[in-house]
Structures are given as structure tokens and as C-alpha cells.
Amino acid sequence: MALESLEDLLIHELKDLYDAEHQITKALPKMAKAAQSDVLREAFEEHLQQTEAQISRLERVFEAMGKTASRKTCKAMKGIIEEGDEVLKEEMSETVRDAALIAAAQRVEHYEISGYGTARTFAYALGNQEAATLLQETLDEEEQTDKKLTQIANNINLQAMQ
């Protein structure tokens, strides 16, 4: 698909995000299972439910743009997830593993924050208020998840230092 307009670029970004969210739904259960901390495990389980809602929200964004939801492989998310998987194969204590899980999860969140922020800005520029509002809602959730992970990390990192 040739990207000849800002709308084409937005659709391209949405397909990327849609695929990234689907990849995340496969990674989060593994992360929850690997977490030693109950608080961290619960955060991953909660974020899985949130991610499923975000997929539905993206489908509404596609609909608001008069398009059918479809995926374009998000190579960046694939790489971020693979990198996290590689680190978790290393030998480490349980608290260090939890710290590594948080680091991997925050890389995911930061990618999503960037992607949703860009897509929201494109939607605003194109005058699609409905799409922009939906994208902002997800952006807000991703930012809150990142903050929650930081709060959990503050405790886990202290434990991992000992």
C-alpha cells in the first residue's frame, strides 16, 4: 500500500498497533506466569484485560475511519517481546527476574505510548475527533500502566539489590 496521504499513514500506524496489541495478548500470560511477585502478576493479568479492551477500541477507530480492522506485522513489538524472552532465559533470582519482567513490560508500554500518541495526533489533524478521542483513551491507559509498573519496580528493585 502506497502511503500517499496522512490518512494512509494513520491507517498504516493503526494496523501496526493492532498487531502489536495482539502480540501483547500472547506475551502477557507468559509474563504473569513468570512473575514471582503477586502484585506484578496481578498487574500483568489486569493489563491483559485492558489490552483486550484496547483491541476492541482499535476496531472502533478503524470503523470511525470507514475501514475494516486489519493487521500489519509490528516488527518492533516482535523484537521487544523476543528481547524480553531472551533475558528471561538467563539464570537469575526471582526478584531480579521480576525486575527484568518490569523492564521488558515498560519497553512495551513506551512503544505503545509513542504509537498511540502519534496516531492520536494524526487523527486530530485529519479532523476525526471520534478516532482521536478513542486513541487518547488508550494512550491514557498506557501511560497509567507505565506509572503503575514504575511504582511496582520501586519495591522490587530494592529487593533485587539485596
Residue 61 in contact with residue 134, Cβ under 8 Å?
A: yes
CA distance 150 to 107: 12
pLDDT of residue 161: 86
The per-residue b/e assignment along 72-92, b for 16 or more CB within 10 angstroms, e otherwise, is bebeebeebbeebeeeeeeee
pLDDT, tens digit (0-9, with 9 covering 90-100), for 13-50: 999 999 999 999 999 999 999 999 999 999 999 999 99
Q: Would you say residue 131 has pLDDT above 70?
A: yes
Q: Is the torsion defined by CA of 50, 38, 162, 151 positive or negative?
A: positive
Q: Is residue 1 part of a domain?
A: no
User: Distance between the two ends of the chain, CA-based, in angstroms?
Assistant: 53
Give the pTM: 0.93
Q: Is residue 65 part of a domain?
A: yes
Domain at 67, CATH number: 1.20.1260.10
Q: Is residue 148 part of a domain?
A: yes
Q: Is residue 112 part of a domain?
A: yes
Q: Is residue 109 part of a domain?
A: yes
Q: Is residue 89 part of a domain?
A: yes
| Residue showing cell 506466569 | 33
Name the grid cell of 75: 516488527
pLDDT band at 88 (very low <50, low <70, confident <90, very high): confident
Q: Is residue 98 part of a domain?
A: yes
Task: Count up the domains in the chain and report the number.
Answer: 1
Domain containing 98 equals: 6-161
pLDDT band at 158 (very low <50, low <70, confident <90, very high): confident
Phi/psi at 5 (5° precision):
-145, 170
Q: Is residue 45 part of a domain?
A: yes
CA distance 35 to 102: 9
pLDDT of residue 1: 61
Residue 90 per-residue DSSP state: S
CA distance 109 to 114: 9
